[in-house]
Amino acid sequence: MQNNLLETPIEYLKGVGPQRGDLLRKELAIHRYGDLLNLYPNRYIDRTHYYKINQLVNSNSEVQIVGKIVHIKTVEQKRGKRLVATFIDDTGEMELVWFQGHKWIKENLKINVPYVIFGKVTSFNGLFNMAHPEMEFLEEHKASLRSAMQPVYPSTEKLANKNITNKTVNKMMQQLFVETQALFSETLPDSIVQELQLIPKNAALFNIHFPKNQELLAKAQFRLKFEELFYIQLQLITKNLIRKHKIKGHPFEVVGENFNDFYQNHLPFELTNAQKRVIKEIRNDLGSNAQMNRLLQGDVGSGKTIVALLAMLIAKDNGFQSCLMAPTEILAAQHFNGLSDLAKNLNINIKLLTGSTKTAERRIIHEELENGSLDILIGTHAILEDKVQFHNLGLAIIDEQHRFGVEQRSKLWKKNEIPPHVLVMTATPIPRTLAMSMYGDLDISVIDELPPGRKPIQTVHRYDSNRLKVWKFLKDEIAKGRQIYIVYPLIQESEKMDYKDLMDGYESISRDFPLPQYSISIVHGKMKPADKDEEMRRFAEGKTNIMVATTVIEVGVNVPNASVMVIESAERFGLSQLHQLRGRVGRGAEQSYCILMTGHKLSNDSKTRLETMCATNDGFEIAEVDLKLRGPGDIMGTQQSGVLNLHIADLVKDRDILQLARHIAIKILKEDPNMTKPEHQKMKQIFLELSKKKNIWNYIS
């Protein structure tokens, strides 16, 4: 049926025409009938209740009243005129006021004819009045499709200026339902509709636009949210299954001497249960015939590096090379030092390749990579250069993947005829709902416990007025032989201001912690990389007591002796950033502290962020709060924003529906992986149509 009618260009809808059609395209991306049908209301005004004039209160809320106009007059005022009508019902009288459009309104108002008026009521000199009310003849009001719950649609300034009001959109919507006779095909299999007791698609679309009451509206919303999330999950899970069937991986059949020797003889500490579980999941993937595509989440310091090394040792046992790619030189160097140290007793060739690697060293790396004598290459984007050719790359590990674009990752795939197994690692905990939507096509592993002997970091919030006490505490810690970070915020727009904040801070700290008793390092974005590395090195070697820095140190500095992190103007940081910064301390066996410094003026969001930080060290809990505060788009970083242009569902509020949708999609694909059953044909058709759309699927991993 009607689905072909929904492809009709929007200007053909009665009452739209070319000019309005053009505006709707540009402002709301409404090109066809179907786009208008999927323009869901933002909210609803309950018009089930009619007020009497003697029930009105001065509450500035919107009300509707039935009555009639008995008198109209024009009143002169300082600037221009206003039109005033006396409106009565059987309990009293009030005034309706217009400041514009007098001539047209005056000509069209009827005296002594019953109207339904709607608008905000205010009281002036004991008399209630309503400015620019929405008005409808009572007869028309009763006959119209306008329901008791009145929808309010998304709009823009341009539409409002061109007189395409909410009422106009409402009329278009009524016209759409008239022209299509509201015959919309069912889009979900009967089995799902019955199992979840969903209302039919027809009824859902009608009640989302013209709900008769709250109950029907709630049913319509549930049905449409479920469907939207269900098709997203169907896409992601299918993509995962196809990858497992079609994209063959190298089966790493043996777990051999390198892995076993390291595991039995050289582990520096007992692995946590979470680490053991994750290694098992990775071993299963590597041993199957499919390409591994796994996301490894673990909080700062949870021990992802050792898991990465064990996976690389399996690759070596099977005669393959591995690479690990990190977003910054500091982080790459740290992985290199960490892994070299762990593997020092093994016969393994590990090298580091970054932008600063010298030409002679590069030549050796290229040669060893191609002849297969280099086992593990660690580096930055430099690994992606065409000159870098592997003998047989079997495993690619990507750290902090949200910092790499899709094209960059696909370059890694092409380094080998059969794509390498992929392990994506992140210390930015991703809330479950986002993980199910953004990375629904990856298998997910989580390391959710810290290594034994680590004490939870104590976090406190202090105002600038307590600074003397805080400095005293820092001096006590330094006296015990510990080191301190003091971090200043970085706001891109105002580099001068940031630099000034940092320098002012540095000067006052230098006065309070004078030489020769104390020694201070400083690191910021304007320094040359070599100077930055030198300062970091001095701090890491314990030659300086305090590191004053901007957020450059957010990812990747590992100084076990540093036990205090002071974050200045903490209210200017996002939650995930605060959590990442805090993770720079607490890496040794000593008790560590994080001190959040702020002024007294704080917004509600800032208060929530600071309270969350003081209440918990759990990255996943923090990520959930962050998601509620910021919404999904922001969390994934700019290049990922707009990833999920959802029409009606909301990843934060509808997480239960999302989990249900995922559960049912998995169940269906288990029973009928290719959707060949007769009852799944309609679903398959919609699935294929969605797959063609360049909307969300191409952003995802």
CATH of the domain at 54: 2.40.50.140
Give the whole-angstrom CA distance, residue 475 versus residue 481.
10
Q: Is residue 188 assigned to a domain?
A: no
Residue pair 82/74 in contact by the 8 Å Cβ criterion: yes
- Quick check: 335 pLDDT over 50? yes
What is the gyration radius of the CA atoms in the chain, in angstroms? 32
- Quick check: 403 pLDDT over 70? no
The pLDDT, as a whole number, for residue 494 is 61
| Side chain identity at residue 362, one-letter code | R
Q: Is residue 9 assigned to a domain?
A: no
Q: Is residue 378 assigned to a domain?
A: yes
The pLDDT, as a whole number, for residue 638 is 33
The pLDDT, as a whole number, for residue 525 is 76
Give the whole-angstrom CA distance, residue 193 versus residue 191.
6
Q: Is residue 645 assigned to a domain?
A: no
Give the whole-angstrom CA distance, residue 312 versus residue 394.
9
Q: Is residue 97 assigned to a domain?
A: yes
Q: What percent of the chain has pLDDT over 70?
A: 92
- Strand 321-325: give its sheet, edge to edge: 350-353, 376-379, 321-325, 393-399, 421-426, 293-298, 443-447
Domain span including residue 499: 458-616
Q: Is residue 6 assigned to a domain?
A: no
> Which residues is 523 bridged to in the sheet?
549
* Cα angle value 570/574/577 (rounded, 5°): 90
Tokens coding 242: 């196809």
CA distances from 22 to 15, 165, 169, 626 (A): 13, 16, 14, 38
The pLDDT, as a whole number, for residue 396 is 94
3-state secondary structure of 429: coil
What are the tens digits of pLDDT across the range 286-309? Answer: 998 888 989 898 877 788 999 999
What are the tens digits of pLDDT across the range 451-492? Answer: 777 788 999 999 999 999 999 999 999 999 999 999 998 755
The pLDDT, as a whole number, for residue 568 is 94
Q: Based on the domain organization, do 399 and 285 belong to the same domain?
A: yes
Q: Based on the domain organization, do 355 and 464 belong to the same domain?
A: no
Q: Based on the domain organization, do 434 and 476 belong to the same domain?
A: no
**Average pLDDT, integer, range 168-185:** 92
688: nearest Cα among 50, 102, 238: 238
- Quick check: 252 pLDDT over 90? yes
**Average pLDDT, integer, range 651-666:** 87
Which of 10-19, 385-394, 578-587 shows the lowest per-residue confidence on average (mean pLDDT)? 578-587
Q: Based on the domain organization, do 559 and 430 belong to the same domain?
A: no
Q: Based on the domain organization, do 407 and 533 belong to the same domain?
A: no
**Average pLDDT, integer, range 64-87:** 92
3-state secondary structure of 199: coil
**Average pLDDT, integer, range 235-248:** 81
The pLDDT, as a whole number, for residue 495 is 65
Q: Is residue 514 assigned to a domain?
A: yes
Beta strands 350-353 and 127-131 are unpaired
Q: Based on the domain organization, do 429 and 482 belong to the same domain?
A: no
Q: Kindly report the average pLDDT of the chain as a whole number.
A: 87
What are the tens digits of pLDDT across the range 20-51? Answer: 999 999 999 999 999 999 999 988 887 778 89
- Quick check: 275 pLDDT over 90? yes
Q: Based on the domain organization, do 291 and 418 belong to the same domain?
A: yes
Q: Before 516, cis peptide (omega within 30)?
A: yes
**Average pLDDT, integer, range 129-158:** 84
**Average pLDDT, integer, range 595-609:** 94
* Cα angle value 617/622/627 (rounded, 5°): 175
Residue that finishes a domain, picked among 124, 145, 166 = 145
Q: Write the burial class of residue 511 (CB in 10 Å: 0-12 exposed, 13-18 middle, 19+ buried).
A: exposed
3-state secondary structure of 218: helix
511: nearest Cα among 496, 542, 483, 503: 503
The pLDDT, as a whole number, for residue 642 is 37
- Quick check: 701 pLDDT over 50? no
**Average pLDDT, integer, range 237-249:** 80
How many structural domains are present in the chain?
3
Q: What percent of the chain has pLDDT over 90?
A: 55
The pLDDT, as a whole number, for residue 289 is 84
Pick 246 or 614 by higher pLDDT.
614
What are the tens digits of pLDDT across the range 526-547? Answer: 788 788 888 888 998 999 999 9
What are the tens digits of pLDDT across the range 505-514? Answer: 899 999 999 9
Q: What is the DSSP string of 482-544?
A: -EEEEE----GGGHHHHHHHHHHHHHHHHHHS-TTT--EEEE-TTS-HHHHHHHHHHHHTTS-
Residue pair 624/431 in contact by the 8 Å Cβ criterion: yes
Residue that finishes a domain, picked among 582, 616, 650 = 616
Instruction: Kindly report whether the global pTM for this prediction surpasses the value 0.85.
Output: no
DSSP H helices, 485-528, are 495-512
**Average pLDDT, integer, range 279-287:** 95
Q: Based on the domain organization, do 392 and 479 belong to the same domain?
A: no
Q: Based on the domain organization, do 422 and 317 belong to the same domain?
A: yes
The pLDDT, as a whole number, for residue 619 is 85
Beta strands 593-598 and 562-567 are parallel
What are the tens digits of pLDDT across the range 338-348? Answer: 899 999 999 99
Q: Based on the domain organization, do 476 and 590 belong to the same domain?
A: yes
The pLDDT, as a whole number, for residue 675 is 94
CATH number at residue 563: 3.40.50.300
Q: Based on the domain organization, do 361 and 486 belong to the same domain?
A: no
Q: Is residue 561 assigned to a domain?
A: yes
**Average pLDDT, integer, range 236-256:** 84
Residue that finishes a domain, picked among 389, 421, 447 = 447
Give the whole-angstrom CA distance, residue 297 versus residue 423.
10
488: nearest Cα among 569, 577, 598: 569
What are the CB-based long-range contacts (under 8 Å, 24+) for 47-51? 47/118, 47/146, 47/147, 47/148, 47/149, 47/150, 48/148, 48/149, 48/213, 50/116
The pLDDT, as a whole number, for residue 179 is 92
Using N-to-C axis directions, what is the helix angle for 304-317 and 329-342, rounded to 10°? 70
Q: Based on the domain organization, do 443 and 478 belong to the same domain?
A: no
- Quick check: 696 pLDDT over 60? no
Instruction: Tell me the pLDDT band of 220, cut-offs 50, 70 and 90.
Output: very high
- Quick check: 695 pLDDT over 50? no
CA distances from 512 to 90, 503, 562 (A): 78, 14, 19
Instruction: Tell me the pLDDT band of 496, cut-offs 50, 70 and 90.
Output: low
